[in-house]
Structures are given as structure tokens and as C-alpha cells.
Structure 1
Amino acid sequence: MEEKANRIFKGELLFFSSEWKNLKKDYDWVTNPSTDFRYDIFKHWSEIPDLAKEAGDIKFVWEKSRFSYLLTILRYDYHFDKNNAEFIFSEIESWIDANPVNQGPNWRCSQEISLRIFNWCFALDYYKNDKALTEERWNKIQNTIYWSLHHVYHHINFSRIAVRNNHAITETLFLTVSELLFPFISETKKWAQKGRKYFEEEINYQIYDDGTFLQFSMNYHRVVIQLLSLGISISEKYDKPFSAVVYQKAYKSLNFLYQCLQEENGYLPNYGSNDGAWFFPLSDTDYRDYRPQLNSLHKLLTGAYFYQDDTLIEDFLRDDSAINKTKPITKKYGIQSFDVGGYYICKTENHFTFIRCGSYKDRPFQSDNLHIDVWVKGKNILRDSGSYKYNTEEKYINYFNGTKGHNAVVVDKHSQMLKGSRFIWFYWTQSQNAHWKETEESYIFEGTIKAFQQLSSSAKHYRKVEINKNDTTWKVYDKIIGLDSSEKKQIWHFDDAKIDWSSTSLKEQKEMSLNSSYYGVKTEGAAKSYVFENEVETTIKYKA
């Protein structure tokens, strides 16, 4: 923590929870450090494109303007008995002076606006009585808070209707708590009333009845977990609880993520879109360690922590008056099905298997149905390749988002779905059946999806996974129906895992393998494929 704080004081910033960049102390808030492109601060936000080749990924500009790094300084001050209020408020004031209301890239996204004010609120609460918070600064901050809420309220339908994902949850929560945090703004009573209605609607819609999430992403699901922790903490403190469905969906979300979590390190499968989002970094754990975030919400809902270790308890979200609405969640062993979202998991004392087999009613981000993730004692031996970047070369977008970046089957180099522009896929895959069964020796999953519909309307993919109860052996049988004349490849991403392979395929090939555990960072890995005509069975035996 102290090292991180000192780097921040020097003008460095940890981008997407993984990579330090030196922005220097005089950073102008609108230059993309990955391309050196400087946005025009005098342009209205509506004239700033989300995607421009010369500008690069706009998220590199938004990252510092989220002000998540302030929480590192607050925690440093708290633990080391320091006072860096002057630094914190000078950073906020610098941003305000450099970003006129509704101009430039940092007013482009209502979610970014909401997150910025949330993180300012942590600082305002902690240093509310400090001399560094002068009347002049407070007036500037109040003005920006007002126009931030005004902007979000008057553009809320974009995220609620056109986007409808974690953006909508963030923005509606910002409006919901506005009357509690900013009662000096008269309009917040109206804004909060609509915000609360919208927030409860979004939580109920976006979190499915089995606790899975409509964005099909572990990291974005954690984003919602943190927003729920923040929202429930504030609303309960002011005795304005949410409707019962919010607590029910929060509890079910916790259960799903906790059942998928690896106790050895707190990791989950790197499944779905992963842009490095960690809105409120309130612990010193690795970004991929989900334990502190799940711990906080579990304490709020049940009165008990999952983990008692101080390093896994988030500062500033400790709540001595937990709600105690539900009983603590426990880890389950054996097989579990989350049928609504389409996830099938199997946990034993030594290993964990995660299988995706779902039907899309909400927009998919990656073409990865029937992907299988395997973990042995916390080591990801068969992995997902991640996301890398949302705005990058087409070959990387097609790889990371396509079927080839997953442990699945490609047909004539085609993904399961047809790629459109940006985040769009056509011919969404649909599950026709999926189920577990158990024998004395094995856990067996079987699932069939409609896939490769761009090639044939009769195309299907059937996958059977047999997990040996007594050792670390998996048998995976794949059959492609309706595409007899096409070449198929069963692809495996295994990196340095020591595995004995055997397959009915007569042809084995080395495949390109890239891995992106953190947004914007990619490394080379190891992958292979087994070529087959219509069906193939591969045995995977992990050697510890």
C-alpha cells in the first residue's frame, strides 16, 4: 500500500489494476497515454467519439478520471496515520479546472461521471473537517456534483434502454443515493425517486433468478457486487432500504460467484468481458482475487464474513450493524446447475470444472458456448483467454472474443456465431439441453447447442464431459451435427500445465494461444487442437 501511494504521489497510475504508467504530476486529464492523442476539451461531449483509430481506446483517458486511486491514498492515510488531504483535494480541483462541464471526453459517459463522484464522496467523507477542504474548493465540488447528477438524470434512458448492463446499474444507483448524500440539492428528491425505481428494476432484470448475470462476465458481475455493497450500506444507514428483490438477487449473486471461487487464491474463471474494472479498490489483494468484495456483501447481508483475515476485509465498508436478513452461504461440493444463466459446475476436494451451456436472450459478448474451464488446487490448467482490449486490431478482437480463444470447437475457422461490428454477434447460440448425472465413478455433463447457424440452419454441437471422481482425468466427447463436409477443430488452451493427452483424432496441431489476465495486457501461451470430421473424444489427465 505504501509503495502504491508513493508511486501515485510521483504521478504514476495503475491502469486497469495491472500496469503502471507514468502520467507525471502535470497530467492534463485528456491525453491518452497509450497513443499520446489529446482530446479537444472545447468540444461538447456529444462530439467526442467512443471509437476513433487515431485516439485509441478512450478507456485509457477515463481511467485516472474515475479517481479510484484516491482510495489507495485514503487507505494509506488511515493505516499509516498520515494526512494527504491537500493532495487529494488538489487533484479533484485540478480535474474540475481542466474539464469544463459537459465538455471533452470525461463527460462522454454517464457511468464514468457516476463513478467519479462516488470516489470523491469517499474522500469528502473521510476529510470533511480538514482545512484542505476550503470553502472555495467545496463550492467548486458542489457545482460539479450538481451538473454530474443533472447530466446522468437527463441521459439515463441511454443506459437503461440502449445499453442495459452494469452502466445502468451504476447510474441509477448514483441517482438513488443522491437525496441521501446531497440533500442540499433540491432536485435530488425527484432524481432519487426515479433512480430508486430504475435501480430496483435493473437489479431484478439483470440478475437472473439463479444469481447469474446478463453480461455473462465474472468481472462485470463483481462490479455489480461492489455497487450493491455501496448502495445497501448507504440506504440502510439512512433507513431507506430497497425492496426485497434487491436483497434476494444480491444473495443469489453472491452464491453463484462464491461457488465458482477458488479458495487457494480467490480467483474465478477469466470468463466473459474483462476490462479491468475495479471501481472501489479497498484491499491490497490481486485484482483477480474476488474474496474481499464477496466478503463485504456477505457481511452486510448475513452478519458474517466468509473470511476473517484482515487482508480480505475491505476498509470503509465495515458495518457493525449488518442486516442479518439471510443465513450464511456455504461452499457446496459435487455438481451444481445454474440453468437460467447456463452454467454447470463440479467441485471436488482437488479440482473444479466450469462449463458454459446457455441460451442467449441478452446480448452475448463472446462466442464461447460449451467452453470448459478446469482448475486443480487453484491452478487454471484449461483456461479462457480473456478479453485484452475492446478497441484493438481486428485479429485480436476476433481471437479473444471468438471461439478460438476458448476451449471449444471451431468449424472451418468459423466461430459459433457470426461477428458483426464492435460488440455485435449474429446467430446467437441457443442451448437445446444441458444436464448433469452422477455415477459411482464419475460426474457426467451432457449439453447440445444450436451453433454455426451462419453455415447451416441444422448445425448443432453436442458435448459430453466425464469427470473421474478418483483422480484428475477428464474425457471430452464432441460431435458436430449438420456440417459433414467441414473441417472441425477441438481447441485446448493449457499453457504450462503438465497433461497427458490422448485423442481419437488422427491429426494434432499447434494453435496460436494468447492470454489476457488483465485488460490491455496479453502474453503468449500454449494451445493445441485435435482435427476431426464429425466426432472426437479426448482424454485429459493432469499430472501434478
Structure 2
Amino acid sequence: YDVLGYRRLSFSPLESDRPEGASPGDAAVDWHLDPVSGRRAPAAWWSAIRYLDPHIGDHKVIWEVNRHQHWIGLGRTAWLTGDPAARDRFVVELESWLAANPPLVGINWASMLEVAFRSISWIWALHMFASWPGTETESRAGEQSPDEPPWMVDLLAGLELQLAHIARNLSYYFSPNTHLTGEALALYVAGLALPELAGSREWSETGRRILVEESVRQVLPDGGHAERSTCYHRYSLDFYLMALTLARLNGDREAEAAFAPAVTRQARFARAVANDDGILPLIGDEDGGSLLPIDGARRHDVLGSLAWASLLLPEVGAVEDLPEEVMWATGSLGLENRQRPDGDKPVRAPARTRATQRSRSFPETGFYVSNKGLGDHLVIDAGPHGFLNGGHAHADALSMVLSIAGRPFAIDPGSGTYTVDRGLRDRLRSSQAHNTLTLDGRSQSEPDGPFHWKRAATSLAHRWHSNGAFDYFEGSEDGYLPALHDRTLFSSDGKRWFVVDRITSESEHVADVFWQIDPSWQPEVVQPGVVRCRHGDGTAVWLVTTAPQVDLFNGDRE
């Protein structure tokens, strides 16, 4: 399995857990194993599982394969090739999972959001394999072979248990953010897709109500998500895209009227913050996952979501490329909407081309985008420290990310891990790992565990001017009070960026300004205060500073 950046991980049971005489290739999937650390989560009551404890393994690795999103890929293979091996593999894994995960026991029942992701995958699998053409050719009139497990009955029974578990334990108190909307989406999808199940009406009504309420609470007026994380913004956008698709297909006009503005605002925000190739910067936490990973696109490539939005809502703006995932996600609705009103030519949609986007401000979120075209794209973060307790926030006040000529240059390194390596977690959340300033070697904000903070800085934009000639930004952050840090940014033509940091204080301090340069560039100090960065394609960028000292460090080792 390819999971969260790891390639070809084996989830076969550890040697000590295999039946006598069984080889790794014969063994079933161990659904409780973290193969990276070799640790296994215990078979305990779901609420007793301390999944943030690294001693039981990396819960994100365990959960990712238990989302069963790869079953959608197996369904895709079956539909496109007619190969029955794909369905056979799905059936084997389904029966294996049910045997290894009795109701309410183990880590795979511990997170309602993960149960929700898995439930959506099961509904997709039910559709893809129950209606797969190969089913009819293998069994007359759709009758199941007597030697085949009763997988449809087992799947529906297991699905009903999981949905009831979600409905009883919604994340109103723990992580009432994308956890809550993801859980609500699963209830809404299941309630509409499977009206035969006893709880379907209640599920759909509950999911619908939560999604409508949270579209106002979590989606800010400027379109940004309240957590100020681009990864979780992408999750939220996709949740509402799927909800809008289902509402439209099922004639739920009232829900559609609430979901459409949420999609429009979030899509416009994502389109502006992503670079001209549709790649989102890794601002805030990112967990490496997505709602519908069917075509292997990079998790921070938002073009699929923008194309999906453009098919449902023309006001979002067209996209030139229509990724495969969009056609799977929208089905006949997407095919219908892809035609122009006159039925003539298909809509060509936002383009994986240079520069239809221009500079934008998002004051409620606190993101400011300088984009003068030609692939030059800058985002500066001058907003609050995340949402609620700042669980997915980083110490990145007044940090900026920059692409030059379509190439990532000054980057945010992302998250790395959530719980397994506390030192790495804190390091990648620190101000030193972002393109901002520190005082006296301290980070602007101080972490207190993987998802909490002892103290948190807040940044604020004071001025933003943008026109055809220049972009101008002024902002401040309060992470070093009583000293105050102000940052000014000026861009005149998209080829030169002037960044001025100013410290206001009655005492002396040591200030450091950090720049995280993408590995595709090779920096070299050519003279005091001058750094030349060469890209692999020969492009050169110059960093010029008045600082008395410039040091280069390798981020992997130092």
C-alpha cells in the first residue's frame, strides 16, 4: 500500500502473529498495524484507545489504510478493465476487516471522522461492485455464487453499525471543525444513498442540518476555512462539493441553496491561494489525506476540486483540465453540466495555465495574495492563530510562501508528523521552520502537546493596497511582547519583492529571519549579504539582505 508518502508498505501481520506455516504473502491484512514503527494498536474498547500515544504506533498510518479509499481504486480497475481479480480482492479485504474489527472494539472505531471516511468508501464500493457489469456475467440474474461470501449483506450490516456509531458520537465537543463536517457528510450521503436502511432518514436530516449550520460557522465570509490550514480548507471544500452534488441529484433544493454559496466562496479562495498550477501552499497542518483519492493526484493539487466546482457552479470560473476524479464524482450530472447551454461544445475550464488569477485579499482569514502573473505568486499569512485551540495552527505569523515563474521557491515545509516524533512535530510548527522572523531564538508561539499551545501569537494586517502597478502590505504580530514585530512587503512587477522587518522595543534583542528554500534550488552565498539560488533548469534568483551575517543550513540535517 502507498500511504501518506510511504511507498509499498506491507500491512501483513507481524511474524509473531502469523499462523504457523503462513508466509507474508499468504497473510491477511493486519488492520491494527503501523508497519512503519512495527507497533500494533491494542484490541480494546474504542473509547479506551489512546490513539495519540505513539507507543501504539502512528494512528494516521493505521487509519489511512482503514479508510478503504483504495477500494474505490479497485472499483475503478474493475469497471475499466473487467478484471474480476479487483472485486475478489475487495471481497477478501471486506471479510478480513469485519473479522478483525468487531463492533466498537479497536482503534478503527475510535475516531468518528475515520469511521465517516470509511463509510463513504463502503458506499462507493457497494455502488461500484454491486452494479459492476462483471457481476451479471459471473452469476445468472445477479444471483450470488454459493461459494462466495455474502459480501453485500455483510457490508450493509457493518455500514449500519458504523453510521449509528457516528450518529451517537458526533464531534460537537472534540474537534468540532472538519471532524464534525466530515461526519455529517457521511450521514447525509448514507441517508440519501441507502434509504432502505432504518436510520437513513434520521441520518440524512442530522447530516444536512450540521452541514448547513457549519457552512456559516466554519466557512468565513471571504471563503477561507476557520482553521487557516490549506489542507483542511481542501477537505472542507470537497466535503461541501460532495454534499452539493448529492443535494442536486436528490432534489434537496433547500440544502443546495446553503451548500452552493459555501462551495463558491471556498473554491474562489482556493483558486487564489493556489499557484497557477493549482498547487496549494502547505500553510498550517496537513495530514496527507483527501476525500476522494481516485486518480493519484497530489494531495495539495486543488485543480480537481476547482474543476468539480466549475461543473456545478459556473460562477466559480472554468478550468481547462477536467481530472478523472471529477467525472467519477459527478457522474451524469457532470456530463450534463459540461455542455454549454446550446449543447454545442464542452465547457473548457480555470486553467492549468499562467495567470488568470490576480492579487487578492482575504481579511477574515488573514491571507493576502500577490500575483502579477507569469507564474509569480506570493501568499502572506496575517491572520489569527488557527481556530478554537489552534490545533492545526503553526507558529507562522507574517510568514510568506513564494513561487517564481511557476516554481516553488520560499516554501512552508508542512507537518511531517502529528504524534510519533514530538521533536519533529514541534520543530516543523516552529517559527524557525517558516519564512518569518524570530527574536532571541524563540518561536512566536509555544506548543503544549501535539494540538495545543502554551501561548500563541496573533498577526494583524494594517494596510493592503493592490493595483496594476504594485502590491503593498503592512502587518504586525505580537509573539514577542513587549517587543513588536512589523513586516512590510512591496512588489512592483512580480519580479522583485521587498520585505522589511522592523522590531519596536526598549531593549536589545537578537533577530533572525528565516527563509525555507525549496530543494529544487541550490543556494550559495556569493558575497556578504548576497545569496544566489540556482534552479535545476538554470533559473537564478538573488536574495539580497542588509543583515550582517547569512548562514545556510540543510533542513534535513541541521
Q: Is TM more than 0.5 here?
A: yes
Amino acid in structure 2 at the alignment position of 1:315? W
Over 3 Å counting, the alpha-carbon distance change for 1:451 and 1:148 in structure 2 is same
- The 1:164–1:277 alpha-carbon spacing in structure 2 relative to 1, beyond 3 Å, is same
Q: What amino acid maps onto 1:436 in structure 2?
A: W
Number of equivalenced pairs = 493
Return the offset for 1:311. 5.1
The answer to whether the Cα contact below 8 Å between 1:337 and 1:345 also exists between their aligned partners in 2 is yes
How big is each residue's C-alpha offset from its partner over 1:425-484, in whole Å with a ceiling of 9 and x where there is no partner? 2433233433322578632211122222xxx3x332100111131x62211100122363
Measured after TM superposition, the shift of residue 305 of structure 1 is: 4.8
Counterpart contact for 2:120–2:189, Cα < 8 Å? no
Q: How does 1:362-381 map to 2 (within 5 A)?
A: 362-364=388-390, 365-381=393-409
- Cα deviation for residue 16 of structure 1 reads 1.5
Task: Determine if contact 1:45/1:107 at 8 Å carries over to the other structure.
Answer: yes
User: Which among 190, 194, 217 is matched to residue 182 of structure 1?
Assistant: 194
Whole-Å Cα distance in 1 between the matches of residues 192 and 555 of structure 2?
A: 49
Match for residue 451 of structure 2 among 420, 423, 426: 423
Counterpart Cα distance in 1 of 2:406 and 2:9: 30
Select between 185-194 and 306-315 the one with higher mean Cα deviation: 306-315
Say if 2:239 is the partner of 1:227.
yes
Deviation string, structure 1 residues 24-47 (Cα, Å, up to 9, x no partner): 452221111112222222x11111
CA contact (8 A) 1:166 1:224 kept: yes
CA distance in 1, matches of 2:239, 2:220: 17
Greater CA drift, 176-185 or 372-381: 176-185
Contact kept? 2:360, 2:368, Cα under 8 Å: yes
CA-CA distance at 1:127 after TM superposition: 1.8
Shift of residue 56, structure 1, vs aligned partner = 2.5
Q: Secondary structure at the match of 2:34?
A: coil
Match among 161, 165, 178 for residue 151 of structure 1: 165
Q: Aligned pair in 2 of structure 1 residues 121, 440: CA closer, same or farther (>3 Å)?
A: closer
| Separation (CA, whole Å) in 2 of partners of 1:17 and 1:440 | 40
Q: Is the 8 A contact 1:17 1:278 kept in 2?
A: no
Contact 1:302 1:322 in 2 (8 A): no
1:491 and 2:514 equivalent? yes
2:499 to 468, 476, 479: 476
Which of residues 543, 550, 557 in structure 2 aligns to 1:501?
543
Runs (5+) with no aligned partner, structure 2: 13-26, 340-346, 522-532, 535-540
Distance 1:312 1:378 in 2: 24
CA distance in 2, matches of 1:122, 1:34: 28
Please give the residue correspondences for 1:170-209 in structure 2 after superposition, counting only pairs within 5 Å. Answer: 170-209=182-221
Q: CA deviation at 1:162?
A: 2.5
1:317 aligns to what? 330
Name 1:70's counterpart in structure 2: 71
Q: Note the C-alpha offset of 1:196.
A: 1.5
Q: 1:100 to 1:311 in 2, by over 3 A?
A: closer
2-structure distance, mates of 1:403, 1:414: 8
Q: Percent identity?
A: 20
Q: Which residue does 1:307 correspond to in 2?
A: 320
> Contact 1:383–1:493 (CA<8 Å) still a contact in 2?
yes
Task: Give the TM-score, by structure 2 length.
Answer: 0.82
Q: 1:258 aligns with which of 239, 249, 271?
A: 271
* Partner-residue secondary structure (3-state), 1:120: helix
Which position in structure 2 is the counterpart of 1:88? 90
Q: 1-side partners of 2:90 and 2:449: how far apart? A: 40
Query: Does structure 2 conserve the Cα–Cα contact (< 8 Å) formed by 1:209 and 1:249?
Result: no
How far is the alpha carbon of 1:337 from its aligned partner?
Answer: 0.6
Which runs of structure 2 are paired with 1:409-488 in the superposition (5 Å)? 409-438=437-466, 442-452=470-480, 456=481, 458-469=482-493, 472-482=495-505, 484-488=507-511
Alpha-carbon offset, residue 309 of structure 1:
4.8
Aligned 8 A contact 2:225 2:236 in 1: no
Closer, same or farther: CA 54–170 of 1 in aligned 2, 3 Å = same
Question: Which structure is richer in relative contact order (CA contacts within 8 A, separation 6 or more)?
Answer: 1
Matched, 1:14 2:12: no
CA-based RMSD: 2.6
Which of 366, 378, 388 pairs up with 1:353? 378
Given residue 290 of structure 1, which amino acid in structure 2 is its aligned partner? Answer: V
Contact kept? 1:254, 1:294, Cα under 8 Å: yes
User: Contact 1:225–1:294 at 8 Å: present in 2 too?
Assistant: no
Distance change (3 Å), C-alpha of 1:69 and 1:439? closer
On the 8 A contact 1:410/1:488 being kept in 2, the answer is yes
Task: Give the CA deviation at 1:50.
Answer: 1.6
Indicate conservation of the 8 Å contact 1:35/1:55, yes or no: no
Q: CA deviation at 1:314?
A: 4.4
- Aligned AA for 1:128? A
Mapped partners of 1:211, 1:17: distance in 2: 29
Distance 2:466 2:267 in 1: 26
| Greater percentage in strand | 1
Q: Does 1:267 align with 2:290?
A: no
Q: Pairwise mapping of residues 91-110 of structure 1 onto structure 2 (< 5 A)? A: 91-110=93-112
